[in-house]
Structure 1
Amino acid sequence: MRNEDAVETEIQAKGLTAPRLTPALIDETIVGEYYFRASDAAAQAGAPGLLALECLTLCVLVLKNGFTVTGESACASPENFDAALGRKIARDNARNKIWALEGYQLKTRLAAAA
């Protein structure tokens, strides 16, 4: 269980019902996701291959309004590189940025209504 799921469960158990963000609302903002390794981008640009770029995974999340957020994952030891784990960590890092953006939007709507 993700920590945010545990927090959501606690919020519901306490009966807190004021407007707020939920993990589901965050997920609903995502309409596309793209992954690549930095070495892929370097190769497309004609740059020389670097081992460090082989270990850097990037995730781009496209939101409903067309805005994008990015996340990254890198391992210190190339021997520890795992593509699936890199994508998961990069996506989590990108998704975490959505909370602040959506929180700002919600606060703006609440202030306008007050």
Structure 2
Amino acid sequence: MMSNEQMLENEIQAKGLNAPRLTPNLIDRKIVGEQYHVFPGTTLTVCVLHLVNGFTVTGESACASPENFNPEIGRKIARDNAREKIWQLEGYVLRERLHAAV
């Protein structure tokens, strides 16, 4: 099954939209490490992604019903939330570069 992100990437490529932009691959290459922590007695999972430049971003997940808590799913959601922050940061950096080139 293809992710929404990959389907969107395929559509962008098919339409020939090739101006400077971010790609899922670029975002993934920024990540050099990851750590997870589940706070004891809770369903709160925190993911810390370590980036190539030494910066870190965090993402969190928690479920309302403790009976639904699954550590693997919690890590996946927390990681996705942390990774989304990289898109924002890298988007800002790219926009700064484009602005400086004008």
Q: Which residue in the other structure is 2:52 paired with?
A: 64
**TM-score, normalization: structure 2?**
0.95
Q: Percent same amino acid at aligned positions?
A: 69
What are the ranges of 5 or more consecutive residues in structure 2 without an aligned counterpart?
none
Q: What TM-score do the two structures reach when normalised by structure 1?
A: 0.86
Following superposition, the deviation at residue 80 of structure 1 comes to 0.4
Please show how residues 35-74 of structure 1 align to structure 2 within 5 Å. 35-39=36-40, 51=41, 53=42, 55-74=43-62
- Runs of 4+ in structure 1 displaced over 6 angstroms? none
How far the C-alpha of 1:92 sits from its partner, in A, is: 0.2
Residue type of the alignment partner of 1:24: N
Alignment deviations for residues 32-81 of structure 1 (CA, whole Å, 9 cap, x no partner): 10001022xxxxxxxxxxx3x2x111100011111111001101111100
Map 1:13-28 → 2, pairs under 5 A: 13-28=14-29
> Structure 1 regions of 5+ residues with no counterpart?
40-50
1:8 is aligned to 9
- In the alignment, the residues of structure 2 paired with residue 20 and residue 71 of structure 1 have an alpha-carbon distance, to the nearest angstrom, of 23
- 1:98 has 2:86 as partner: yes
SS in structure 2 opposite 1:108? helix
Report the RMSD for the aligned CA atoms in angstroms: 0.8
